Structure 1
Amino acid sequence: MPSKEIKIPGSLHSDQYESDDRDGHYDGTSDVSDPEEHSGAAAEGGDNNSPSRAAVYDDTTDTDEYQSDLDPGVPRHPEAPTNADAPSAAATRKRRKRGRKQRGADDENGGNDDDEDDYEDASRSSMQAPDELLERAKRLAAKFAARRQWNNAMRQLVRQTALCVLVYGPQHFKYAEAYTELAKGYLDYKGPSFSQQAEEHAEHAKNILLGQQEAFDGAAVDVTGSGLAGSELTRLEFLKVSLVTYHTLGRAQSLLKKFPDAEQSLIKAEKVVQELSKLSIVKFDFLLEAKQKIWTSLAKISAKLNKPMASVSYYEQAIAACEKRYGKGSQELVPLYQGVGATEQSRPEFPNHEKAIEMYLKAHEIATAHAKGEFTEEAAGTARSLATAYAKCGDVAAQASAESYMQECLTACLQLHGPEHQSVCEAQDELAKLLIRADKIDEGARLLQENVKVKAKVHGDFSPQVLDSYRLLGSLWLSQGRLEKALQDLQRAFDIAEVLHGPGCRICRELQPTIDTVLKHPSMEGKQAGYEMKNRPRFNGIVARSSKPATGGSATTTGVFN
Structure 2
Amino acid sequence: MSGGKEEYEDDSFFSDESDDVAPIRVSPERSSLRASYTGPLSELKTIEENSECNTERTVESSRSSVQGGDKSTRGRELRSPEDLLPICKIKADNYSVDKKTDKAIKEFIKCVAYSRIVYGSENWNYGKAVCDLGVAYLELKNWPVQAHYHCNIAQNILKSDVQEQADRVADKRSQIPTVPEEEIDDWNIKIYTAVAKLAAKQKKHAKALTYFEKVLNIIEDTSGRESSELVGVYQYMGSIKLCNDSPTDIEKGIEYYHKAHSISMTIYKDGSLESADSARKLAAAYACLGTEDAEISSESYLNECLLTYQTNLGDIHEKTIQVQDDLVKLMLRTDRKEDALILLRKLIEPKCVVHGEFSEEVSESYKLIGSVLLSNGEDEKALKALNKCYTIQCFSHGENARRTKDTKKTIDMLISNPNLAAVHKKLSNNLQDRPNFNSVVCRSSRLGGFKTDATY
TM range, smaller chain: 0.5 to 0.7
Q: Does 1:336 align with 2:233?
A: yes
| Contact 2:216/2:230, CA 8 A, preserved across alignment | yes
CA displacement 1:165-212 (0-9 Å, x = unmatched)? xxxxxxxxxxxxxxxxxxxxxxxxxxxxxxxxxxxxxxxxxxxxxxxx
Aligned partner (choices 337, 341, 352) of residue 445 of structure 1: 341
Q: Does 1:345 align with 2:242?
A: yes
**How many Å apart are 1:534 and its aligned residue?**
6.9
Correspondence for 1:282:
179
CA displacement 1:420-441 (0-9 Å, x = unmatched)? 1111111110111101211221
Q: Does 1:309 align with 2:206?
A: yes
Q: Distance in 2 between matches of 1:300 and 1:343?
A: 10
**Secondary structure of the structure 2 residue equivalent to 1:392:** helix
Is the alpha carbon distance of 1:260 and 1:475 closer, same or farther for their aligned partners in structure 2, counting shifts above 3 Å?
Answer: farther
**How many Å apart are 1:327 and its aligned residue?**
1.0
| Contact 1:345/1:351, CA 8 A, preserved across alignment | no
Is the alpha carbon distance of 1:260 and 1:363 closer, same or farther for their aligned partners in structure 2, counting shifts above 3 Å?
Answer: farther
The structure carrying a bigger helix percent of its residues is: 2
Q: Does 1:359 align with 2:266?
A: no
Is the alpha carbon distance of 1:429 and 1:259 closer, same or farther for their aligned partners in structure 2, counting shifts above 3 Å?
Answer: farther
Q: Distance in 1 between matches of 2:424 and 2:162?
A: 63
**Secondary structure of the structure 1 residue equivalent to 2:170:** helix
Q: Does 1:467 align with 2:381?
A: no
Q: Does 1:413 align with 2:298?
A: no
**Secondary structure of the structure 1 residue equivalent to 2:319:** helix
Structure 2 residue ranges without an equivalent (≥5)? 1-154, 433-456
TM-score when scaled to structure 1?
A: 0.47
Q: Distance in 2 between matches of 1:323 and 1:506?
A: 50
| Contact 2:192/2:214, CA 8 A, preserved across alignment | yes
Is the alpha carbon distance of 1:485 and 1:353 closer, same or farther for their aligned partners in structure 2, counting shifts above 3 Å?
Answer: same
Aligned partner (choices 386, 408, 412) of residue 516 of structure 1: 412
CA displacement 1:219-243 (0-9 Å, x = unmatched)? xxxxxxxxxxxxxxxxxxxxxxxxx
Correspondence for 1:231:
none
Aligned partner (choices 273, 292, 300) of residue 396 of structure 1: 292
**How many Å apart are 1:476 and its aligned residue?**
0.9
CA displacement 1:380-433 (0-9 Å, x = unmatched)? 221111111111111111110011111112122222221111111111101111
- Give the letter for the 2:206 counterpart: M
Q: Distance in 2 between matches of 1:449 and 1:364?
A: 32
**Secondary structure of the structure 2 residue equivalent to 1:419:** coil
**How many Å apart are 1:262 and its aligned residue?**
5.7
**How many Å apart are 1:372 and its aligned residue?**
2.3
| Contact 1:456/1:466, CA 8 A, preserved across alignment | yes
Q: Does 1:428 align with 2:324?
A: yes
Correspondence for 2:190:
293
Q: Distance in 1 between matches of 2:350 and 2:241?
A: 34
| Contact 1:263/1:301, CA 8 A, preserved across alignment | no
Q: Distance in 2 between matches of 1:394 and 1:348?
A: 11
Correspondence for 1:322:
219
**How many Å apart are 1:364 and its aligned residue?**
0.4
Q: Distance in 2 between matches of 1:408 and 1:263?
A: 43
Correspondence for 2:277:
381
Q: Distance in 2 between matches of 1:483 and 1:335?
A: 46
Matches within 5 A, 1:59-74: none
How many residues align structurally?
278
**How many Å apart are 1:535 and its aligned residue?**
9.3
Is the alpha carbon distance of 1:374 and 1:336 closer, same or farther for their aligned partners in structure 2, counting shifts above 3 Å?
Answer: same
| Contact 1:259/1:301, CA 8 A, preserved across alignment | no
Q: Distance in 2 between matches of 1:296 and 1:528?
A: 57
Matches within 5 A, 1:227-306: 261=158, 264-265=161-162, 267-306=164-203
| Contact 1:270/1:291, CA 8 A, preserved across alignment | no
| Contact 2:383/2:424, CA 8 A, preserved across alignment | no
Aligned partner (choices 465, 489, 506) of residue 385 of structure 2: 489
| Contact 2:226/2:267, CA 8 A, preserved across alignment | no
Matches within 5 A, 1:515-534: 515-521=411-417, 523-524=419-420, 526-531=422-427, 533=429
Q: Distance in 2 between matches of 1:489 and 1:306?
A: 41
Q: Distance in 1 between matches of 2:338 and 2:365?
A: 15
Is the alpha carbon distance of 1:532 and 1:492 closer, same or farther for their aligned partners in structure 2, counting shifts above 3 Å?
Answer: closer
TM-score when scaled to structure 2?
A: 0.57
- Give the letter for the 1:294 counterpart: I
453-462 or 285-294, which moves further after superposition? 285-294
Q: Distance in 2 between matches of 1:264 and 1:486?
A: 56
**How many Å apart are 1:488 and its aligned residue?**
1.1
| Contact 1:477/1:486, CA 8 A, preserved across alignment | yes
**How many Å apart are 1:304 and its aligned residue?**
1.4
- Give the letter for the 1:362 counterpart: K
CA displacement 1:446-494 (0-9 Å, x = unmatched)? 1111112111100101111111111111111111111122111111111
**Secondary structure of the structure 2 residue equivalent to 1:282:** coil
Structure 1 residue ranges without an equivalent (≥5)? 1-257, 537-562
Matches within 5 A, 1:497-508: 497-508=393-404
Q: Distance in 1 between matches of 2:231 and 2:242?
A: 17
State the percentage of identical aligned residues: 32
**Secondary structure of the structure 1 residue equivalent to 2:357:** coil
Correspondence for 2:109:
none
Q: Distance in 2 between matches of 1:397 and 1:484?
A: 36
Q: Distance in 2 between matches of 1:518 and 1:361?
A: 46
**Secondary structure of the structure 2 residue equivalent to 1:468:** helix
**How many Å apart are 1:522 and its aligned residue?**
5.3
CA displacement 1:31-59 (0-9 Å, x = unmatched)? xxxxxxxxxxxxxxxxxxxxxxxxxxxxx
- Give the letter for the 1:270 counterpart: D
- Give the letter for the 2:176 counterpart: L
- Give the letter for the 1:440 counterpart: R
CA displacement 1:225-264 (0-9 Å, x = unmatched)? xxxxxxxxxxxxxxxxxxxxxxxxxxxxxxxxx7864664
**How many Å apart are 1:281 and its aligned residue?**
2.9
- Give the letter for the 1:374 counterpart: G
Q: Distance in 2 between matches of 1:435 and 1:444?
A: 6
After TM superposition, what 4+ stretches of structure 1 lie above 6 angstroms from structure 2?
A: 348-351
Q: Distance in 2 between matches of 1:351 and 1:498?
A: 45
Correspondence for 2:151:
none
